[in-house]
Amino acid sequence: MMSKLIILATLVVGWTIFMLYQSNQHKKRMRQIDKEWEERIRRWRSHVSTVRRSAMVPYDEVRPKTDKLSPPKKMGKHTMR
């Protein structure tokens, strides 16, 4: 009777330790996932703010008005007929 009680107690203690270990591992993984998501959200917000700032720049400032490679065009005098 006593040996069965010792075996049962050992199993209960072993199972409890195993479950606590699994719970600890799960919490550790959840914290890691939260950190990864916070980093993704931070990078995404940074990217969105960069896109918004670039969208605020007028088109003429982004692209030059003259093409440096093509020769200058000769414009004739315009006359109304």
The residues, any chain, with a CB within 8 Å of residue 54's CB and separated by 6 or more, are: 62
pTM over 0.85: no
Q: What per-residue confidence (pLDDT) applies to 14?
A: 97
Instruction: Calculate the alpha carbon distances from 7 to 2, 10, 13, 16, 19 in Å.
Output: 9, 5, 10, 14, 18
- pLDDT tens, per residue, the chain with 81 residues: 889 999 999 999 999 999 999 999 999 999 999 999 999 999 998 888 777 776 665 555 555 556 566 666 666 676 665
Q: What pLDDT does residue 17 have?
A: 98
